Structure formats: C-alpha cells, structure tokens
Amino acid sequence: MKYIIIEDEQLASKRIRELMVSIRPDYTYVAKFDSVESATISLPVLKYDLILMDIQLADGNSFDIFDKIKVSAPIIFTTAYDEFAIKAFKTNSIDYLLKPIDVGELRNAIEKFESNKQIATSSSDESPQITELIKSLQPKGKERFVVKIGEHLKTVETATVQLIYSQDKATYLFTKEGKRFLIDYSVEKVEELLNENQFFRISRKFIVNIAFIRDIISYSNSRLEIVLEHFDEEQVIVARERVSDFKVWLDR
C-alpha cells in the first residue's frame, strides 16, 4: 500500500511517518504536502492508496482540495476538534484522529481502511457529504477584511467590527476602536460572508455585531434603536420588517 501525508505541521508529519513505519512497515510513503495548492497540483499525477490529511492546512482547509480535484483514495483525517465532532464523522465510515495521534487509534484506522477500501472519498456519492461535514466544523464567516490606508494595506479582524454600513454608495467597517474603514464590498455581499450567529442585518443599511450592542431602545413605529460604543454618526435603527427576526436572533 502507498500513502500520502497532507500536513502543514512538521512535527505532526514526522510523528505520522514514524507511527506508520511501526504499524505498517510494508506500506510505502509516497510524498508529503503542506498546502491545498501543492496537494491539488500533485495528487492527480501520483499513485497512492491512502491519504492521511490534516483539516487545517497552511493556505486553507482541506475540503478546498475536494472542490478543485477528484480524490480517489480513502482518507484518514487528523484534527484538533473535540470527540463529539469526531464521532459524527465516524458515522460516515471515515476515521478522524485527534491530535496528538495515538498509535492505537491510528492502528484501528488502518485496519478499518484495510477491511473496507471503499471508505472515505472513494465513493463519489459520499464526497459531497464529506465536504459538507467538514465545512460544518469550520469556523463560519469571514475572519478578516483587507483595507487600504493611503498606499498601505491593512487587515481588520472581523471580530473587532462593531458595525458595517453603507453611506453615499460606499460600504464601511466601524471597529471597536472607533475607526472607520472603506471596503470593496456591498452590504449585501458582506452579509453573505459573515457568521450569522455573530452578525445581523437590521436594515438595508446596517449590519451589527452582537458583541458590541450596548443597549436596545424602543423606537417609533414599532422599531428598535441599537446603541453601539463610539458610533454617533447617526441612529442605528432596526427596520420594522426586521424586528421580529432580530428578536429571534438575539434569543438564540
């Protein structure tokens, strides 16, 4: 059997190789890749029977590989997620090992692989389900925005954004430090990118971060006013048609 390791942590990769040598000395190590890009380029031209793959890679998440190429071999994923999540994955006939990798768990995974070579992504019908399961455990929503300040580029962590709003046909971020940054997105597009548990679009103009809501006040025509720190350019009002959904969102 030939196997490939996809792992961006050098120590983790080394441990997997050492364990594989001790568990299955007759297996042949083919190659190691540390990124979605390198794996996507190389996997289609290599011959292998098994992949040991980390979920978080240097340039993204491993499910990105499935979006780019067809993976024809079973996969044993390694992950730092909790055991509850791992059990959910195991119901789909694929093994997920918690880091640091335990020799006994790896041996069991290899035995499972050997007893049924059709597990994991070897079935095209399973691949979409696998992808969706992996995605369901990833942190949801855009993690940062790139903004331009003069001739310089800067990243703004999404978690620090109190408010996203439109003004004069432009879209701005307003951060917890009270700073405003112009971004190259429409409010509609930003809404699609954000974690819906953290952000809520209260009107056509405003998207608020629940972490920075300091007060909610009854306003005219059955609407609500949101009070945020530092933001005093104008009132932040929940549109009447959005009030009911907003209350449900708050009570999650």
CA quadruple 104, 109, 112, 113: dihedral positive or negative? negative
DSSP string, 4-64: EEE-S-HHHHHHHHHHHHHH-TTSEEEEEE-SHHHHHHHGGG---SEEEEESEETTEETHH
SS3 category, 70: coil
Indicate where the chain has its CATH 2.40.50.1020 domain(s). 144-250
What are the distances in angstroms from CA 35 to CA 6, 58, 143?
Answer: 7, 5, 19
67: enclosing H helix or E strand: helix 63-68
Count of positions (residues) in the chain? 252
CA distance 246 to 229: 19
Q: What is the pLDDT, as a whole number, of residue 122?
A: 45
Task: Give start and end residues of each alpha helix (H) in 91-155.
Answer: 103-115, 127-137
- What is the residue type of 141? G
Q: Which CATH class is domain 144-250?
A: mainly beta
Residue pair 119/74 in contact by the 8 Å Cβ criterion: yes
- Under 8 Å CB-to-CB from 244, ≥6 apart: which residues? none
* Complete edge-to-edge strand list for the sheet that includes strand 96-98: 28-33, 2-6, 50-54, 75-79, 96-98
- Reference 247, options 214, 202, 196, 212; nearest CA is 202
Indicate where the chain has its CATH 3.40.50.2300 domain(s). 2-137
What are the distances in angstroms from CA 196 to CA 2, 139, 142, 185, 208?
Answer: 42, 11, 11, 17, 10
For the chain, residues with pLDDT lower than 70 are 81-94, 116-140
Pick the CATH number of 2-137 from 2.130.10.10, 3.40.50.2300, 3.30.1330.10, 3.40.30.10: 3.40.50.2300
What digits encode the pLDDT tens for the residues 46-74?
A: 999 999 988 888 788 888 888 888 887 88
What digits encode the pLDDT tens for the residues 129-138?
A: 555 555 555 5
CA distance 134 to 129: 9
Rg (CA), the chain: 23
